[in-house]
Amino acid sequence: MPQVLRRSLFTAATGVLATGALTCGLITGPAQATQTSGTTPKASATATATAAKAYTFTGLNPDGSPIRWDPCSAIHYRINRNGIVKTGELKHVKAAVAKLSRATKITFVYDGKTSVVPDSGDIPKRAKTDLVFAFAKRGKGAKKSSMLTAASIGVGGSQSVAGGNLDVYRNVEGAVVIKATGFSRLSRRERTSLYLHELAHAVGLGHSGKRTQVMYPMLYANAPAIYRKYDKIGLKKLGRTAGCVRPPGKPATPTLSVSGTQLTISTNAVKSYGKKLTYVLTSYAGNNTKKTWTSTEPTFAIPAPDGWRTFSIRAKDSIGHRDSEFVDFAPAPAG
């Protein structure tokens, strides 16, 4: 099956996606400013709609589960100072990543610096890493990012794919861009809160309607410099304790045994990272007739066919599916 690319990070700003705006700009301003003021970036419309929610996710799968990275694989990242901040700022970015790692139990690996500024897709290809954290001016062209909006001081998000053996979306690249303009006026606390906010977007956490949370869509002087209660609840649901985002194990080639008029077809039980693991037996006859049976166990007992068949067993759960190899069945000669 072809890979379906979900260009969430870079198309959300233009409103292409209906499910969850992934490009979320954090804006500066007085805490009492309303979300609906004229200067509020479009991305904050999500926050307005979900103002009562303590935490949200930037994207949901059709089954309602949040779109995640595979938390059982390390996320590699690079930082681009872009001539805007001093080398000393690196340790503060890394400290924010470490806080995200603790909240998600996802391992992050620093791959070093990069000159890539996220402004379009293909970050893994361009920067040879999974996630780029960059400082940049707003705009088009080298060293600038068109992802930054006029009112936002930062942006964070991810792109996900489905297809192949995956039946849900999985994040495969991420980006954080911190706007250069106005950055020098931010306090250390505000910078930390900003980093935590955009990094959380990059792993799939959306805005919070609660002002006490890092994911509140507005930065204010006493903004939290650590993830707070609801931030942590949301991050946990995106992280390792929520399970791997991997398809189930591949069932072994089925074995066949005939007893009287019954054919038993078995494979091994496979490991599942999702919910609702089932096995689906598929049979094809020579004339391409297809039949299927579903079971919660990896064993099927069916009436022995009177002609040639080939069988395969699929393991399927809420995350994905894997198919066994085919095994052929030919009835014994009568007599």
Interacting residue ranges for Zn ion, rule: CB under 5 A: 24, 26, 217
Q: CA-CA distance, 259 to 276, in Å (whole number)?
A: 30
Q: How far is the CB of 207 from Zn ion (least distance, A)?
A: 6
The pair of three-digit structure tokens given for residue 324, joined into one six-digit string: 């066994």
24 vs 277, which CB is nearer to Zn ion?
Answer: 24
Q: How far is the CB of 198 from Zn ion (least distance, A)?
A: 7
Which of helix, strand or coil describes residue 117?
coil
Q: How far is the CB of 126 from Zn ion (least distance, A)?
A: 24
168 vs 205, which CB is nearer to Zn ion?
Answer: 205
Q: CA-CA distance, 37 to 331, in Å (whole number)?
A: 75
Q: CA-CA distance, 175 to 72, in Å (whole number)?
A: 20
User: Which residues is 26 bridged to in the sheet?
Assistant: 154
Residue 135, amino acid: F
Q: How far is the CB of 83 from Zn ion (least distance, A)?
A: 25
* Nearest-CB residue for Zn ion: 24
121 vs 217, which CB is nearer to Zn ion?
Answer: 217
Q: How far is the CB of 97 from Zn ion (least distance, A)?
A: 17
Q: How far is the CB of 82 from Zn ion (least distance, A)?
A: 21
Residue 89, amino acid: E
The helix (run of H) or strand (run of E) holding residue 232 is helix 229-238
Q: How far is the CB of 218 from Zn ion (least distance, A)?
A: 9
The Cα-based distances of 122 to 130, 167, 192, 322, 325 in angstroms read 10, 22, 27, 27, 34
Q: CA-CA distance, 243 to 319, in Å (whole number)?
A: 10
40 vs 266, which CB is nearer to Zn ion?
Answer: 40
Degrees, nearest 5: CA angle 36-40-41: 125
Length reported for the chain = 335
Q: CA-CA distance, 135 to 128, in Å (whole number)?
A: 18
Token look-up 């794919």 returns 161
66 vs 217, which CB is nearer to Zn ion?
Answer: 217
118 vs 217, which CB is nearer to Zn ion?
Answer: 217
24 vs 85, which CB is nearer to Zn ion?
Answer: 24
